[in-house]
Amino acid sequence: MDNLIRILRSFGEGEEDKTFTDSFVDLLKNRVMTNVERMYEVGLKFQNNRVIFPPPWDSIYAGLKEIGFFKRFIPVDYGGSGASEESIYFIMELLGYTCPSLGIIFVAHGRAVDVILAGRDEALKDKLLRRLGDGDFGAIAMTEERAGTDVSAVEFSATRKGDYYVFNGEKIFISNAGLAGVYTILVNTKGKKGARSLSVFAVEDEIDGFRVDLLPEKDGLKILPTGKIIYENCLIPRENLIGDEGKGLLLALDAIDRGRILLAGIACGIACRILDEIFEYSRKRIQFDHPLTSSQDISFKMADMYTQINAARGLCFHALKQVHSPYYRSASSQAKLFATQMVMSVAQVGLMIMGGRGYFRNNIISMLSGDARGMEYLEGTSSIQKMIISRELFKSYT
């Protein structure tokens, strides 16, 4: 991890960020890395609409609150510390290195914060953002069985009834389902298909008619809660509407653009961990009276891995510089596309270098490879990223 920290800090870090990072790294080394394999092995349980994490979680969660981790995502005006985009990226790459599931939990959390910040009701924003800054989790819910790639096909209905909206519908593949205290939800308020029928609401979890179902166990990202959220005749106050009715899709997509860069950072972190583990293995593994690191074939493979990781990170930092520019959407998709393809390639080569040991279930490279496979499906598959990139590219020509 020390090599990764030096690389990240070479991009620049303020003194305040450095103080936080030192505390954060200490927590990762002493509470996360020592327990992550055990947590993955035990997995998640579910009871009364809530996810239950393995025992080390309580210590990790307490440590995150102690160092003010949740407040990093919240602006100063709402009780947070307002960390920069670059600082949040550092956090995500370090989480990718130590526990990718935890990284994705906080990508979803941060995206919920972004959506809420776009709201106009200051009382609602203050209430929800302070709750999230104090240690509750957020989630963003867009996907449905028939509305994945085609987001405009959302059928989840929100019917106006006086000062309330009546929610009926299901969302699936939701990160932080059963963990979040606040859900930001894309719904259909017009009763017909189309982008102009979609609105966003911020909804707390403790309401009648709301329930959560966890999805079957995944091949990777074992402690990332992923499930289905269901609303049956739930009354949601009108003031929980974020922005204007019928203009929710752009709000949600803007939040997802930011999330893609952070997911790319997590992918870079996973790849760095694989490279470190492979180096340690190759240094100790003797073949023909020499360590594997002395083999030109193995050393060249590791050189390729290292170059690919740095290329992906370069795209991430390029995208971070494009925030608020017309090129941001394309840049974030390029970073996510390249980084998730890169981490799969690095994982595959890592497994090959490990030989038969890489095939064992409890091997760290095998575990990280399962995590790497899952990265492509979050915030849009590679095909979706290519669609966005090509569309933005063609716009630039016209």
- Partners of 237 in beta bridges: 164
Q: Residue 123: what pLDDT?
A: 93
- Determine the pLDDT at residue 348: 95
How many C-beta atoms surround the C-beta of residue 258 within 10 A? 21
Residue 25's pLDDT is 95
Q: Residue 104: CB partners within 8 Å, gap ≥ 6?
A: 175, 221, 224, 263, 266, 378
pLDDT score of 363:
83
Name, in order, each residue with C-beta under 8 angstroms of 107's C-beta and a sequence gap of 6 or more: 92, 175, 259, 262, 263, 266, 378
Termini Cα distance of the chain: 45
pLDDT of residue 224: 96
Backbone angles phi, psi at 112, to 5 degrees: -65, -40
Topology (CATH) of 250-397: Butyryl-CoA Dehydrogenase, subunit A; domain 3 (1.20.140)
| Strand, coil or helix: 11 | coil
Task: Assess contact for 263 and 340: CB atoms under 8 A.
Answer: yes
Structural domain spans, the chain: 2-133, 138-246, 250-397
Q: How many CA atoms lie within 13 A of 35 on its CB side?
A: 20
Q: What amino acid occupies position 1?
A: M
| SS3 (DSSP) at 363 | coil
Q: Which of 293, 301, 286, 276 is nearest to 352 (CA)?
A: 301
Of the candidates 309, 283, 196, the residue with the CA atom closest to the CA atom of residue 246: 196
Q: Splitting the chain (398 residues) into consecutive groups of 10 residues, what average pLDDT does each group show? A: 88 78 94 92 90 93 96 95 92 97 97 93 94 97 87 90 96 96 96 91 93 89 95 95 91 89 97 96 81 88 96 96 90 97 96 83 87 92 94 90
Fold classification of 2-133 is Butyryl-Coa Dehydrogenase, subunit A; domain 1 (1.10.540)
41 is catalytic: no
- CATH 2.40.110.10 is right for the domain spanning 138-246: yes
Catalytic residue selected from 13, 93, 170, 379:
379
In Å, how far are 86, 144, 155, 194, 274 from 150, measured between CA atoms? 31, 10, 11, 10, 35
| pLDDT score at 354 | 87
